[in-house]
Structure 1
Amino acid sequence: MAMALRMATKGKWVTEECKSSFMEMKWKKVHRYIVFKIDDKSGLVTVDKVGGSGESYHDLAASLPVDDCRYAVFDFDFVTVDNCRKSKIFFIAWAPTGSRTREKMVYATLKGGLRRVLEGIHYELQATDPTEMGFDLIQDRAK
């Protein structure tokens, strides 16, 4: 993890797959969500899981580990009261209470840099358990 912090200062700590997957989600709408993790060996932020366009927010929540930190982005599509279709991208910093303290610190340190790499995020949630990232919170924030 120390390597991840050194690499972050040089801007070489996010894989190209992370960037391209995010752009596919943002512009082509082929992914509903992406889960990212920090690889223990390389220290790079990598893609852990990609949810297809037909998957839901509940699928994303179910894919997050109960004892490991992750980052996730979710593309929330909705219709406004004026009957306009809209989309908002949420960034979720997942740090469950069962994860190691050192891991939480590293994920917290790299979070801001990842957000800057993934341009176009509208809202951020930080969660330590599923209730802090419920679908109702997504709906309330987006509207």
Structure 2
Amino acid sequence: MNFLASVTLLGLAAFTLAALTPEQQEEADMAIGQCATDLGFQLDGDIIVIVKYNGTLFPGDENSKEFLACALKQIDVLTDDGIQIEKYIDFLSEGHDVQALSEVINKCATVDGDTVTDKGYNFYKCFWDTKDFDL
């Protein structure tokens, strides 16, 4: 995988690693590592350090969508039915404004997609387009 593809795939890594508790970060690290292995992606630790998270580093290409969906499935917040609202709120609630988080997750969990991968990606886009708070 080339450098640009690695950087775009790490948009999720940077998003997921932002302002998480040690327990949340450990779970996110495991999900990201498992998906990288499952999908054959090389994650370079130096890239993670330089990537800034702001929700714009994930293009809509299929590799990025697959990686994003895989990670969301690994942390058990995405199923064939879509985003699991309560599980996602529970996952991110510690250390965050639960009311603001709940509002965005509830709104964005209603976005649709033709596949579970599209549902995960559409949720991700909605989340970053909608949220007006820091993670």
Whose helix proportion is higher, 1 or 2?
Answer: 2
TM-score by length of 1: 0.29
TM-score by length of 2: 0.30
Whose strand proportion is higher, 1 or 2?
Answer: 1
